[in-house]
Structures are given as C-alpha cells and as structure tokens.
Amino acid sequence: AQKVTQAQTEISVVEKEDVTLDCVYETRDTTYYLFWYKQPPSGELVFLIRRNSFDEQNEISGRYSWNFQKSTSSFNFTITASQVVDSAVYFCALSGTVDTDKLIFGTGTRLQVFP
Amino acid sequence: KAGVTQTPRYLIKTRGQQVTLSCSPISGHRSVSWYQQTPGQGLQFLFEYFSETQRNKGNFPGRFSGRQFSNSRSEMNVSTLELGDSALYLCASMASGRLHEQFFGPGTRLTVL
C-alpha cells in the first residue's frame, strides 16, 4: 500500500527563520513520483515540485529546496528566510506506476510565519 | 492561459438533496481528476476521467459519480447528500503526455445542513 506521512501538524516560525517540512513515504513501486503542493487560505492547491524516484538530486528554487533520500524514504522541503506569504498548508504527495493519475496525499503541515 | 475553473465556488444543500459540481480544465488538458478534502480524512481521490472515460476510481460510495464531456469539461454528482459530504471538492487537470503534473482549481466548498 502507498502512504505519505507528514508528522508535523503545525509549525510556527518568525519571519526570516529557516523551516523544514518533513515527508516520509511508503510504496512498493520501483518507479514513483513525489510532489509538494502549497494550499493558501484561498483553497487552491499550488504545485511546487515533482520528483521521480530515479532522480535523487536535491533541488533548489529560490528560497525553496528539496532533499530526496530514497534510503530513508523521505522527501523534505526547506524554506529559507521564511516570509509571511509562506503561511499556508503544505502537502506532500505520492503517485505510483499503476494508478499514475491518483495522488496519495499526506495530512499536510500548517506553516504559520509571524512578522 | 486560463487555469482550472470550478463552479460554483460555494454551495449549501440539505441532507437528501443531490448536487452537481462543474470543472473546466486548462485548455488542451484531457484528464480531469476529482478530490475531496475534509478535516477528518484529508485529501482523498474520487475519480479521474480521460477522453470521456473514467480511468480510475477511489473508495467512495456509488452516490458519488462523474462524467466528462467531449470538450473535457467534467461534472461530479453526489446524490442523497449526507452531513459527512460537507467538504472542499477539488478538480485537477493534466495534459496528455505530462504524467503526474496536475494543476488544481480553487475548489467548490459544499456545506450539507
């Protein structure tokens, strides 16, 4: 069975602090995809990143960076120098090779960034 | 390029009624998926349509159904509404050949009284 665990329910930080959101996944597929989405108060899920299981290179996009480690089945997301606008719920998700269009979501981590 | 649109954005119904939600995907996208988001169960996959055919289905009762039209627009229907159906219903569209890259709409918030 596929599963995504986001153990951190809520994180509060002060602006300019760095924050890391954890994501641990379970799958028996050898090929799979991992995602991060941001959900601001408006409700729309905003796509942040997609990673396939064969690409373990870390990725950096501006203040965002992602650390993918197959050995620990983790795909963690770090926001550097957080800003108030980063306040949202962040979801990690997984899709496999069979049901490729079905995303399995974690329970989300609510990030609050205070000025 | 316009994003995924969903109508209506908010809906209030009473138990026993039925409801139809609409989703227009990004132009050129042929796949539409539906998800239900509730505080208790989180985000759960309902079903996915591609070229007017249901390609995948989640673990929801038969009261939840959907369809897709030739222009890729999709509707989902919930019959005999229950209080537990109150949720944010999100639609996502995906281009052919761009597996796993789903773009979500703003959602329809359904409240069942």
pLDDT by residue (tens digit) across B28-66? 899 999 999 999 889 999 999 999 999 889 999 999 999
- pLDDT tens track for A62-72: 999 999 999 99
Tokens of A80: 């550097």
- The conformational region for residue B89 under phi > 0 = left, psi -120 to 50 = alpha, else beta, is beta
Asked if the Cβ–Cβ distance from B101 to A50 is below 8 Å, we say yes
The structure tokens 């649109």 sit at B5
**Stronger pLDDT, B1 or A56, i.e. the higher one:** A56
**Kind of pairing, strands B108-112 and B10-13?**
parallel
Is 80 exceeded by the pLDDT of residue A103?
yes
Q: How far apart are the C-alpha atoms of B12 and B10, rounded to whole Å? A: 7
State the sign of the Cα–Cα–Cα–Cα dihedral A11, A12, A16, A17: negative
Q: Please give the angle made by the CA atoms of A41, A44 and A50, to the nearest 5 degrees.
A: 120
Distance from CA of B17 to the nearest CA of A (A): 25
Smallest CA–CA distance from A89 into chain B, residue: B42
- pLDDT tens track for A20-49: 999 999 999 888 999 999 999 888 899 998
Is 90 exceeded by the pLDDT of residue B105?
yes
Q: Which residues of A touch B50 (CB under 8 A)?
A: 101
- Rounded to whole angstroms, the maximal C-alpha distance in chain B is 41
Asked if the Cβ–Cβ distance from B42 to A101 is below 8 Å, we say no
The structure tokens 């924050």 sit at A19
Q: Is B43 on the interface with A (CB under 8 A)?
A: yes
Instruction: Tell me which residue in B43, B105, B107 faces A105 most closely, judged by beta carbons.
Output: B43
Asked if the Cβ–Cβ distance from A101 to B99 is below 8 Å, we say yes
Distance from CA of B14 to the nearest CA of A (A): 23
Q: What is the DSSP letter of A81?
A: S
Coil vs helix vs strand at A71: helix
Instruction: Tell me which residue in B31, B44, B100 faces A50 most closely, judged by beta carbons.
Output: B100
Phi, psi at B39, each rounded to 5°: -60, -35
Is 60 exceeded by the pLDDT of residue B98?
no
Distance from CA of A22 to the nearest CA of B (A): 17
Smallest CA–CA distance from B5 into chain A, residue: A44
Q: How far apart are the C-alpha atoms of A63 and A94, rounded to whole Å? A: 23
CA B9 remoteness from chain centre:
12
Tokens of B98: 């761009």
